Amino acid sequence: MGKTKTAFVSDLSEDTKKVKKESQKKTEKIHIAGLKGGQRIKAIEAEPMLPETEEEVEAKKAKKAPRVRGKKWTDSKAQVDRNKEYKLSDAISLCKKTSYSKFDGTMEMHLIVQRQGLSATTSLPFSAGKQKKIEIATDETVKKLKEGKIEFDILIATAEMMPKLVPFARILGPRGLMPNPKNGTLITDIKKAKDFSANSVTLKTEKDAPLIHTTFGKVSQKEEELEKNAQSIIDSISLTQIVKAYIKPTMGPSVKVKLFK
C-alpha cells in the first residue's frame, strides 16, 4: 500500500502557483495529417480547476440568503417576549395559544443542564399522548423478534429472559427498547409487571452536550395536566442541575420558563 500524503491549507497557495505556472507554458505545435504544406495548429489547453480556498468557501456561505419565516411563525413569535421568563403555567398557556399546527401538536421541553451524562427517570402523572403498548417478554416475543417484528412500545422482562434477548440488543438498544433496571423494565418477579407505568419517561443528556430533550403531553391536553407533567420532569432532574428551561409546541416558538430555586 502506498503512503498517503496529506495536503494542508498552508500548502494550498504553493500548489496553486505551480498549477498556474504550468498552465502558462507555451503550447506545443503539432502536425496533423491532411493539412496543406504541413500547416501547424496549436493544441488548446483548458485551464485547470483550482481548489477553493477556505476564504472562498466562507464567502460563498456568507452570500446565502437569510432564512425567511412564514407569516404564521412571525405572528406567533411576536406574542412571545424573548427577554422574559414565564411562570410554568403561563408558559404552557402561551404555547397552546401560539401553536399553529393543523394537527394536535406535541408539547416539548428542552433543558440546559450543568453537565453531560446526567440521567433520570420519572413517571408522569398523566399520559403524554399516544397510549404505549407494553409487552412482557416471552418465548413468543423472541420468535417475533427473529422475524423482525416489533409490536410493542415498551418491553418488560425478567432476569431469566434476558439471555434470550441479548442477541437482539442491536435492534432493541438503539430504539430504547432493551429492558434495563434504570427505567424499571427489568423486573425480578413477573407479577410486578402490572405495577409498571406506561407514562414512565427516561431523561438523559445528549452524547456530546449538556442538553435534555423530551415531551410532556399534547397541545390539546388540559393545562393542569401539562403543568403537572412538566413539573414532574423538572423535579426529577433537580432545580440545582437545570441552567435554563424552555417549552414549545411542535409548530410554534419556544418560551423560556422561570425556575424557582
Q: Are 161 and 185 in contact (CB under 8 A)?
A: no
Which of the residue ranges 64-73, 136-145, 158-167, 176-185 would you say has the lowest mean pLDDT?
64-73
Range of the domain at 188: 132-197
- Whether residue 36 is contained in a domain is answered as no
Q: What is the CATH number of the domain that holds 259?
A: 3.30.190.20
Residue 101 has pLDDT above 90, yes or no: yes
Q: Please tell me whether residues 257 and 226 are part of one structural domain.
A: yes
The residue among 46 and 95 whose pLDDT is bigger is 95
pLDDT for residue 7: 42
Number of domains in the chain: 2
Contact 110, 234 (CB under 8 A): no
CB atoms within 10 A of CB 124: 23
> Can you give the CATH number for the domain in which 159 is found?
3.40.50.790
Pairwise CA distance, residues 157 & 135, whole Å:
9
Q: Are 221 and 126 in contact (CB under 8 A)?
A: yes
Residue pair 32/42 in contact by the 8 Å Cβ criterion: no
Are the C-beta atoms of 132 and 224 separated by less than 8 Å? no
Write the pLDDT tens digit of every residue in 38-50: 555 555 555 556 6
pLDDT tens track for 166-221:
999 888 988 888 888 877 788 887 877 776 766 778 889 998 899 999 999 999 99
Tell me which amino acid residue 102 is. K
Averaged pLDDT of the chain: 80
Q: Is residue 237 part of a domain?
A: yes
Q: Are residues 145 and 247 in the same domain?
A: no
Residue 188: per-residue pLDDT: 82
Residue ending a domain, among 161, 182, 197, is 197
What's the pTM? 0.59
Tell me if 39 is assigned to some domain. no
When pLDDT is cut at 50, 70 and 90, the band that residue 6 belongs to is: very low
Q: Is residue 179 part of a domain?
A: yes
If you average pLDDT over residues 145-149, what whole number do you get? 90
The residue out of 181, 197, 213 marking a domain boundary is: 197
One domain, residues 166 and 189: yes
In a domain, 5, yes or no: no
Are both 202 and 260 inside the same structural domain?
yes
Let me know: does 214 contact 205? Beta carbons within 8 Å. no
Q: Clarify whether residues 136 and 261 are in a common domain.
A: no
Domain boundary among 147, 175, 197: 197
Neighbouring CB atoms inside 10 A of 147's CB total 7
In this structure, is residue 28 part of a structural domain? Answer: no
Asked if the structure places residue 59 within a domain, the reply is no
